Chains A and B, each alone.
Chain A
Amino acid sequence: MATKVSLTRRNLLKTGAGVATAFAAPAIFTKGAFGAEVLKVQDMGGAFEKGFRIAFYEGFEKENNVKISVTTNGPDPIPQYKMVVDTKTNLFDVCMMTPEHVFRMKALGGDYMQKLKIKVADPENYVAGSINENFAGVAVFALALGYRTDTFGDKGPKNFQDFWNVEAFKGRRGLWRSPVLTMELALLADGVPMDQLYPLDVDRAFKSLDKIRKSVDVWWTTGAQSTQLIQSGELDLMSIWSTRAQTAIDDGAPVSLAWGQGFYNIDGWTIPVGTPNTELANKFVEYCMNAERQAKYTDVLACGPTNVTSYKYIKAERAKLLPTAPENVKGLRPLNADYWGKNQTALTERFEKWMLS
């Protein structure tokens, strides 16, 4: 404890001194303490940062004698990413995105992400959609059905048909305030088979949403909010990202996830155009694709490794909580980044209009 206090005090002094040179200050903190080469990585913060530190950052720092400095993505990384490249601000050398983000970045036109130069030994072992020319996925998370076990006990909802059944499953409900995946869930609830979703029957989806609308108490907008909602018991059942639900579960909240139906998305690395550290960045990305290393973050971060051979290294007990575990991944499909990249703007407008009507 004593060392911690002194550490804090030192930082305090640093802060005080830094006020005078406030504009230069961020540089003080991101420069390596020992003059080692620095790789700037931007991840999703929180459990991601903790898990990745154990799995990737520590090992990579040691093996290559570099220092990794971590920053956190904003709620929507795209405007920032665009700014970073447009203004040639070297905020990060490697940045975490999803395939859908990559698609949207490309839609902006212009050259924002570098082509990756990495070698992957066993491409067949990766979950579909994990790797493309700009993107290397390392962690899978899913939008599934979360519910409070103190409300439902063992008789929790299993899929979104149950979710739509307001008689059998009484409780306060929440859905994502976004057409993305919410449209898919509405169609699944209406009986459309998983394999025949695309292209989406939008009118049918809205009709299905009309049925549940009165029973949806909260339309959540952000991940943090969704965690807070289920953790505090404000809601009894909701669509929620698995990582977000797991945060509440790990904190001891009586929450469980039904894996019967859902969609997964992938967090992975991209390298922005203009970084001075291209070589080191590629080396880092390649380092993260290793199955054994990916397995290490799962104790802290409830994401599924993209490399399914990782499960050799993961305890069965923990594995069943992860989206890419063989048992869970059966009910999941990847988010259709292609479809949403094309249709998001128009459908968002229609969805918002529906919300307000």
Chain B
Amino acid sequence: MAEWQSPSRRRFKLDPLWLAGPGIFYLVLLLIVPAAGLMFLSFRDSSGSLSFETYRQMFGAGIYVQVLINTFSIAMQTTIACLLVGYPLAYWLAKMPEKRRRLVMWLVLLPFWMSALLKNFAWMVLLSRRGVLSQILTGMGIGGPVDLLYGRGVVVFAMAHTMLPLAALTMLPTLLSIDLGLARAAKTLGASGGQAFWRIVFPLSMPGVAAAGLLVFISSLGFFITPALLGSPRETVIGQLLITQVQQLLNWQLAGAIAVMLLVVTLAVCLVYDRAFGISAVSGERSDRRSTGLFARIGTVVIASAARVTDILAGVLDVVPGLRRRGWLLDAFCVLVMAMLLVPVLIFLPMAFGSSSFLEFPPRGYSLRWFETYWNSSNWTGATMRSFGIAIVSALLASAMGGIAAFGVARSKSRIGNVAFLLFMLPMIIPNIVIAVALFYLFAQIGLIATDAGIALGHTLTALPVVFVIILTTFKNYDWRLDQAAATLGATRMGTVRKVTWPIVKGSVVAAFLFGFLHSFEELTIALFVGGGVRQTLPKQMWDDVLLQVSPTLAAASVIILAVVTVVFVAAERARPR
């Protein structure tokens, strides 16, 4: 972009990247230093001298390696499930008119912002042997009580359910950027529907698929709620072991070693991803590089066979009456997926108003008693307000640091800009359980454990990538010539910011703030570790209740969360520039 630069301005040759300084400082201080410290610690014995004893213990015990393999394979299965279901969903969304898409995306995102805890508990209620689904199946004459819970299948299902919105929405922008005219063009050139999809649309959507796969996989690695609640012992994952080591056994060396192992695996995955797709594909383009290697050749074969299979299938389906026009199949599939996404969220409404002392669906009677219990319990109300407070503070901090950093990175012409970008993405790339353990380790030394400030600082850290990306996108799309135009019209630098820049980017900054708020409001892992059981946030309170009580107060609280999330989410979406 050619810009006019007056000679007088040229004297201040400071790259705007310095604006990312505070954020980078924060990330180094709260993430890189403690993570390194933890790693360092794992190579020491209790007396402090260098030792591989911890690793000998870890690999010797066998269970840690087994659990790592579990974690890895569950994450892999979850990723595959998310991509298989998420892709058609994203495709469906991409084909919608803009207005309807916004509405449907809202429905997809709503369950995403609901705590995984709640959704998993809903599955426990719905899928139990004498639960609703089992009764329906029995009623239809399909076998007796069905054993759905406590196995690999339900764990992968529930985890994929939690991650699906993330997967679909990561793929969506790529799919939207594909010119739908290309598929039409392919058809005029003689391609069948299947050929046009597999040879044109699918290869073009690969960057989105890869990005979604990476994000889902990494998030899955740090996931422990679902395996703990819905899995059998065979589904034990690394997160559960970390919690035991840190909280019950206070074994820091081993916790450090486990975290390091998880981190190494994660970084290895990122590296493989980088080799295959280029890590910058997450941030932007660079598709000029045409791979001619093994990956490309495999890809060609896969695509050709997929297209052939689709053609054969289409030929078969053509014979079936009513299936000649198949557009409705995708609609039906996606509506079903949407229903699945929303079911666990919605069943909390009737359960919250139930009169039984258990979470039951459908409830036997209705009352407001659980809302009263909620309002009258200082545990619940206290936790709710603490969550509000922490969420506001973290969102403010994250928006301030992330916002000016995004401005700096967007304006920077320096090559270090890319490094800064990756650094800000780091809290998203490192599994949150590792972050939580690292923060616990750091805060324990400086007296921030069991403080609200500690939790808020932690939430700020993990909210940073979300906030940063939202604002960065806006600044990248911002037409800086407007600022020049304002200057030519006589505006001062401050005047330009106040009258031109800010009004245009305000919406996305507000949206970033609100998404930061939601992020903190729903966060459990860091609250679990840093809160120390003393500073209870709402998700932590719910986690305890799930482990201890499982009273319908939980449902009442989740209805309140649902309301808060809905309001904030709608506000955020409205604030977002179209």
Question: Do A and B contact each other directly (Cβ–Cβ < 8 Å)?
Answer: yes
- Inter-subunit contact B131/A232 (CB<8 Å): yes
**Given contact pairs A79-B533, A356-B66, A15 touches B381 in the complex (Cβ within 8 A):** yes
Rounded to whole angstroms, the CA-CA distance of A55 and B297 in the bound complex is 76
Which residues, 162 to 193 on A, are CB-close (under 8 Å) to B? 172, 177
Asked if B357 is at the interface (CB within 8 A of a chain A CB), the reply is yes
**A8 contacts across to B, CB distance below 8 A:** 368, 371-372, 375
Number of residues on chain B facing chain A (CB within 8 A): 63
Asked if A196 is at the interface (CB within 8 A of a chain B CB), the reply is no
**A72 contacts across to B, CB distance below 8 A:** 379, 544, 548-549
- B254 CB to closest chain A CB, in angstroms? 10
**Given contact pairs A75-B547, A79-B247, A352 touches B63 in the complex (Cβ within 8 A):** yes
**B544 contacts across to A, CB distance below 8 A:** 72, 74-75
**Given contact pairs A15-B385, A69-B378, A224 touches B248 in the complex (Cβ within 8 A):** no
- Inter-subunit contact B548/A233 (CB<8 Å): no
Rounded to whole angstroms, the CA-CA distance of A356 and B248 in the bound complex is 20
Rounded to whole angstroms, the CA-CA distance of A349 and B523 in the bound complex is 29
Asked if B236 is at the interface (CB within 8 A of a chain A CB), the reply is yes
**Given contact pairs A78-B248, A79-B533, A45 touches B233 in the complex (Cβ within 8 A):** no
Asked if A218 is at the interface (CB within 8 A of a chain B CB), the reply is yes
Rounded to whole angstroms, the CA-CA distance of A45 and B447 in the bound complex is 29
**A22 contacts across to B, CB distance below 8 A:** 385-386, 388-390, 392
Asked if A251 is at the interface (CB within 8 A of a chain B CB), the reply is yes
Residue from A22, A91, A248 having most chain B Cβ neighbours under 10 A: A22
Asked if B272 is at the interface (CB within 8 A of a chain A CB), the reply is no
* A→B interface (CB under 8 Å): 4, 7-8, 11-12, 14-15, 18-19, 22-23, 25-26, 29-30, 44-46, 69-80, 83-84, 86-87, 89, 91, 108, 172, 177, 217-219, 221-225, 227-228, 231-234, 247-248, 250-251, 345, 348-349, 352-353, 355-357
Which residues, 359 to 411 on B, are CB-close (under 8 Å) to A? 359, 368, 371-372, 375-376, 378-379, 381-382, 384-386, 388-390, 392
**Given contact pairs A223-B548, A356-B236, A234 touches B533 in the complex (Cβ within 8 A):** no
- Inter-subunit contact A356/B130 (CB<8 Å): no
Contact digits for B228-252, partner A, Cβ 8 Å, 1 yes 0 no: 1100111010000000100111100
**A4 contacts across to B, CB distance below 8 A:** 368, 372
**Given contact pairs A46-B549, A79-B532, A353 touches B389 in the complex (Cβ within 8 A):** no
Q: Which of B125, B385, B450, B532 contacts A19 (CB 8 A)?
A: B385
- Inter-subunit contact A79/B248 (CB<8 Å): yes
* B→A interface (CB under 8 Å): 61-63, 66-67, 70, 124-125, 128-131, 145, 147, 149-150, 228-229, 232-234, 236, 244, 247-250, 356-359, 368, 371-372, 375-376, 378-379, 381-382, 384-386, 388-390, 392, 447, 449-452, 532-534, 544-551
**A91 contacts across to B, CB distance below 8 A:** 534
- Inter-subunit contact B247/A353 (CB<8 Å): no
Rounded to whole angstroms, the CA-CA distance of A103 and B386 in the bound complex is 33
**B451 contacts across to A, CB distance below 8 A:** 87
Q: Which of B229, B358, B392 contacts A231 (CB 8 A)?
A: B358
Rounded to whole angstroms, the CA-CA distance of A11 and B228 in the bound complex is 35
Closest to B249 in A: A345
Q: Which of B232, B385, B548 contacts A219 (CB 8 A)?
A: B232
Rounded to whole angstroms, the CA-CA distance of A91 and B125 in the bound complex is 33
Rounded to whole angstroms, the CA-CA distance of A344 and B67 in the bound complex is 20
Q: Which of B130, B244, B389 contacts A233 (CB 8 A)?
A: B130
What are 16 A-B contacts defined by CB distance under 8 Å? A29-B378, A29-B381, A29-B382, A30-B382, A83-B534, A84-B450, A91-B534, A217-B150, A223-B547, A231-B358, A233-B129, A251-B358, A352-B63, A353-B61, A355-B234, A355-B236
**A23 contacts across to B, CB distance below 8 A:** 386, 389, 452
**B129 contacts across to A, CB distance below 8 A:** 172, 232-234
**A26 contacts across to B, CB distance below 8 A:** 378, 382, 385-386
* Top 8 A-B residue pairs of the complex, sorted by shortest distance between their CB atoms: A22-B389, A80-B533, A355-B233, A83-B532, A11-B375, A224-B550, A26-B382, A233-B130
- Inter-subunit contact B233/A177 (CB<8 Å): yes
Residue from B131, B145, B550 having most chain A Cβ neighbours under 10 A: B550
- Inter-subunit contact A353/B62 (CB<8 Å): yes
Besides A72-B379, A84-B450, A227-B550, 16 new A-B residue pairs in contact (Cβ under 8 A), listed by A number? A8-B372, A11-B376, A19-B388, A74-B533, A75-B547, A80-B534, A83-B450, A87-B447, A87-B450, A89-B534, A172-B129, A223-B547, A224-B548, A225-B550, A356-B70, A357-B66
- Inter-subunit contact A89/B372 (CB<8 Å): no
Rounded to whole angstroms, the CA-CA distance of A73 and B541 in the bound complex is 10
- Inter-subunit contact A87/B356 (CB<8 Å): no
Rounded to whole angstroms, the CA-CA distance of A247 and B249 in the bound complex is 31
Closest to A81 in B: B533
**Given contact pairs A12-B375, A75-B548, A228 touches B534 in the complex (Cβ within 8 A):** no
- B455 CB to closest chain A CB, in angstroms? 11
- Inter-subunit contact A217/B532 (CB<8 Å): no
- Inter-subunit contact B389/A25 (CB<8 Å): yes
- A230 CB to closest chain B CB, in angstroms? 11
Rounded to whole angstroms, the CA-CA distance of A44 and B384 in the bound complex is 20
- B82 CB to closest chain A CB, in angstroms? 26
- B558 CB to closest chain A CB, in angstroms? 15
- Inter-subunit contact A76/B128 (CB<8 Å): no
**A25 contacts across to B, CB distance below 8 A:** 381-382, 385-386, 389
**B61 contacts across to A, CB distance below 8 A:** 349, 353
Rounded to whole angstroms, the CA-CA distance of A224 and B534 in the bound complex is 21
Rounded to whole angstroms, the CA-CA distance of A327 and B451 in the bound complex is 49
- Inter-subunit contact A71/B386 (CB<8 Å): no
**Given contact pairs A72-B379, A83-B534, A221 touches B388 in the complex (Cβ within 8 A):** no
- Inter-subunit contact A218/B236 (CB<8 Å): no
- Inter-subunit contact A232/B534 (CB<8 Å): no
- B504 CB to closest chain A CB, in angstroms? 30
**B124 contacts across to A, CB distance below 8 A:** 228
**B358 contacts across to A, CB distance below 8 A:** 227-228, 231-232, 248, 251
**A228 contacts across to B, CB distance below 8 A:** 124, 128, 358-359, 550
- A149 CB to closest chain B CB, in angstroms? 14
**A44 contacts across to B, CB distance below 8 A:** 548
**A78 contacts across to B, CB distance below 8 A:** 248
- A221 CB to closest chain B CB, in angstroms? 7
**B548 contacts across to A, CB distance below 8 A:** 44-46, 72-75, 222-224
**B131 contacts across to A, CB distance below 8 A:** 232
Rounded to whole angstroms, the CA-CA distance of A218 and B249 in the bound complex is 25
**B533 contacts across to A, CB distance below 8 A:** 74, 77, 79-80, 83
Rounded to whole angstroms, the CA-CA distance of A46 and B551 in the bound complex is 8
Rounded to whole angstroms, the CA-CA distance of A8 and B368 in the bound complex is 10
- B53 CB to closest chain A CB, in angstroms? 15
**B550 contacts across to A, CB distance below 8 A:** 224-225, 227-228
